[in-house]
Amino acid sequence: MSIELKIIVVTGPESSGKSYLAKLLAEKFRLPLVAEYAREYIGGLERDYVEEDLEAIAVGQYEKLNEIIKSGAAWVIMDTDFLTIKIWGTEKYGKYSVQLKQLSERYPTTHYLCCRPDIPWEYDPQRENPEDRDRLFEIHYRELEKQKCSFDIIEGDFEQRTAMAVRALEKLIH
């Protein structure tokens, strides 16, 4: 599938400011936002999530992206994407499904903003790795390099990371 839409993904380990930055950037640049569907999906479960839920989460995330594609938007901000689901599945279950890989290839990301977890971890019942964020960041970083993705590292306090992310998008969009 060839799409004209330019996709900016905010990625990184949990509690690294992804959702905050994605929302801020979407508002500042007046771009559509695809929020992290995993949060909505898992929040609606009355049980613990299982491996098969990762595919449902990915499909839900990309159904939201398809709505934006149909709107004719030129740019979109995504709060996480298949990279996060791939790392999540590999870390939790030791594998990443072929179906998820095929779905991810349909929507090439234009640019990633990879958030370093150098801000305080905040408790959330859906978060699982308060002590392991640096290692998970390195996995994200290595995966972006391995796939030869275009990306910027976003780091520092909220003011610094906001400024870095805004500068990165200004270069891409203008």
Q: What pLDDT shows up at residue 4?
A: 79
- Mean pLDDT of the 148-158 span: 96
Distance CA 99, CA 157 (A): 37
pLDDT at 1 over 60: no
Phi, psi of 97 (to 5 degrees): -70, 150
Q: Which residue has the higher pLDDT, 59 or 128?
A: 59
Cα distances from 8 to residues 16, 105, 135, 147, 169, in angstroms, run 17, 15, 23, 16, 8
The mean of the pLDDT values for the chain is 90
Phi, psi of 20 (to 5 degrees): -60, -50
107 contacts 100 by C-beta, under 8 angstroms:
no
Kind of pairing between the strands at 151-154 and 75-79: unpaired
65 contacts 34 by C-beta, under 8 angstroms:
yes
- CA-nearest of 36, 40, 39, 37 to 23 is 36
Give strand pairing partners of 36. none
Q: Which two tokens stand for residue 14?
A: 């949990």
Name the band, by pLDDT with cuts 50, 70 and 90, for residue 158. very high
Burial readout 14-30 (b: 16 or more C-beta within 10 A, e: otherwise): bbbbbbbbbebbbeebe
Distance CA 131, CA 129 (A): 6
Could you report the per-residue pLDDT of 115-126, keeping only the tens digit for each?
Answer: 999 998 887 777
List the domains of the chain with CATH numbers.
Answer: 6-173 (3.40.50.300)
